[in-house]
Amino acid sequence: MKTKIILVGGFLGAGKTTLLGEIAHRLSRTGKQVGLITNDQASELVDTVFLAYTGTTVSEVSGSCFCCNFPGFTDAIAYINEKKAMDVIIAEPVGSCTDLSATILQPLKEKFAKKLSVAPLSVLVDPQQLTAILEGRGAGLHPSAVYILRKQLEEADFIIINKTDLLKAEAVAALQKRTGEEWPWAKIHAISAKNGDGLENWLNKVLQSSEAGTRLAEVDYDIYAEGEAVLGWLNTTVKLQSTSANWDLYADKLLHALQRRFAELNAAVGHVKLLIKTGNDFVIGNITGPHNLLNIRGSAGEGKEARMTLNARAQMEPATLEAIVLEEIARAGGSNITAEFAALKCLKPGRPNPTYRYDQIVAQSS
């Protein structure tokens, strides 16, 4: 039996992690064995911690993107299948990555034809960012970051417009039409990963299709490298201690403070993700999209100790990003909460250097 592997790409803040969790839940309910692979330029990922709560087998490829560490990616696939033979493995590439068809899908089809059935490349997109791109605006992003987002859409087999719960039905229909006119070769789907609208239709098409990586984008790696380098990336894990604290209020206070600081600098935010856990309970929140929308769900309750994982991607120098995050963590805690940093890494991504880059489409064997 071949394992179906589904890559869900898309720019930072599009909602990929929420979608992966929902897909895993739905497929598991049908009796399928499902594995998940997360990816980032550094370890300490909120995505990995959160998805582990789904009860799904999760593997993390950190320190480089899938395309620049293809052996690491295929090792993650093997690791998950060793745990249990999987029907489906869903992988979430780094949000600022593109050229996935040439660097991941084609080598998978050629080198792992006996073990894997590769699904169409799905690219998730935030509707506000998509609207801005279609109208020739940048949604607050650097032009080189906009270039990456457009290249992601250009190489997609399926373009998935997410967050339809934020739009009226007529606006969704109009956006689908405009998207289809701009990228006529792609199949266009509109979904809400949050409430599940449209998800089954897209998922069924992905699972049934035998065509994958049908497009190769022409990518200027100088522009691509600049687009990644304009973003500062911060990952940290923090041990929080207090005589007694409401961790939900702490999360809310910290996220609102970061939202305000980035707005004051007019800095585009790829995403800010935060997860605070106490035992088996957790509160998770994020800041995403062109308007820095803030969302919090779950509850970590009250107590003396908690563990926080925080990831921030913002259009600024890493040193500035780090200073802001550290300042606001301290302020949010005040004199009642102490923060001990178990891990902290802040960086600017290096130039992409893929392991493989194919210049032709590989036919997928049945």
Domain locations in the chain as residue ranges: 3-227, 231-347
Give me 326's structure tokens: 């550290």
Tell me if 347 sits within 8 A of 41, measured CB to CB: yes
Smallest Cα–Cα separation from 49: which of 325, 312, 326, 307?
307
Q: CA-to-CA distance for 331 and 300, rounded, in angstroms?
A: 20
Smallest Cα–Cα separation from 145: which of 220, 219, 225?
225
Buried b (16+ CB within 10 A) or exposed e, 203-234: bebbbebeebbbbbbebeeeebbbbbbbbbbb
Helix (H, G, I), strand (E, B) or coil at 43: coil
Those residues with Cβ within 8 angstroms of residue 25's Cβ, 6 or more apart along the chain or in another chain:
54
In terms of residues, how long is the chain? 366
Which runs of consecutive H residues, i.e. helices, occur in 232-300? 247-264
How high is the pLDDT of residue 293?
Answer: 83
Q: CA-to-CA distance for 234 and 7, rounded, in angstroms?
A: 24
How high is the pLDDT of residue 135?
Answer: 94
Tell me if 317 sits within 8 A of 232, measured CB to CB: yes
Angle CA 200–207–5, to nearest 5: 120
Strands annotated E in the chain: 3-10, 34-40, 57-62, 88-91, 116-118, 122-125, 158-161, 187-190, 232-246, 269-278, 281-288, 293-299, 302-314, 337-347
Q: Which CATH architecture has domain 231-347?
A: 2-Layer Sandwich (3.30)
Alpha carbon separation from 300 to 56, 249, 279 (Å, rounded): 21, 10, 8
Residue ranges in the chain modelled with pLDDT below 70:
290
Question: What is the CA 41 to chain-centroid distance, rounded?
Answer: 12
Smallest Cα–Cα separation from 285: which of 266, 308, 301?
308
Q: CA-to-CA distance for 180 and 185, rounded, in angstroms?
A: 8
Pairing of strands 187-190, 158-161: parallel
To which CATH superfamily is domain 3-227 assigned? Answer: P-loop containing nucleotide triphosphate hydrolases (3.40.50.300)
How high is the pLDDT of residue 52?
Answer: 85
Q: CA-to-CA distance for 135 and 336, rounded, in angstroms?
A: 48
Tell me if 262 sits within 8 A of 354, measured CB to CB: no
Count of CB atoms within 10 A of residue 351's CB? 12
- pTM for the whole structure: 0.94
How high is the pLDDT of residue 139?
Answer: 81
Q: CA-to-CA distance for 220 and 217, rounded, in angstroms?
A: 10
Q: CA-to-CA distance for 277 and 280, rounded, in angstroms?
A: 7
Give me 198's structure tokens: 């449209």
Those residues with Cβ within 8 angstroms of residue 230's Cβ, 6 or more apart along the chain or in another chain:
142, 144, 145, 315
